[in-house]
Amino acid sequence: MESNEAASLLQELPTRPHWHFTGLDVTLMVGAPTLAYIGGVVAAQGSLVGPIAAAFAALMTVAIRAIRISRTDEPVISQFTFYSSIFAAVVMFVMAANLWSYAPHPSAAIGFVLPLVGTAAYALFLTNLFWRRR
């Protein structure tokens, strides 16, 4: 192989993999915590729609990890993000189910503050998903 050929092939290679975000990625990353929070607030008011919305948010949480790990042209995602996604999904659903089962609450602040726990678990999951070791 000639040196010019090898140099041109090396120039075509990317320097390192980088993240690609599609519309589906953004929809899942923004929609899941929003749906989990709204589901928790609605569940705190005593509606069954809340835990159902939180269940969909939990499915979206696991789906974003499955979509991101299947892409071969992006940085490698650690295996522990699987457990992180399951943890976030369980926290979101259990929080909404508990708020629904003990509704109505004596304090309105409970219905607006406790659903943030599921959103915080999702933020932890996204941090684990996109954090790369150097």
| Domain residue ranges in the chain | 22-130
**Is 114 a residue whose pLDDT tops 60?**
yes
Whole-model pTM: value is 0.83
Share of the chain above pLDDT 70, in %: 88
Biggest alpha carbon–alpha carbon distance for the chain:
78
Compute the distance between CA of residue 122 and CA of residue 65 in angstroms, rounded to an integer: 11
**Is 134 a residue whose pLDDT tops 90?**
no
**Is 27 a residue whose pLDDT tops 80?**
yes
User: 104: cis peptide before it, omega within 30°?
Assistant: yes
**Neighbouring residues of 86: CB distance < 8 A, sequence distance ≥ 6:** 62
Comparison of pLDDT for 15 and 43, the residue scoring more: 43
Mean of all residue pLDDT scores within the chain: 89
pLDDT score for 8 = 72
Compute the distance between CA of residue 15 and CA of residue 113 in angstroms, rounded to an integer: 44
Instruction: Output the six-digit token pair for 79.
Output: 């295996």
The residue length of the chain stands at: 134
pLDDT score for 120 = 96
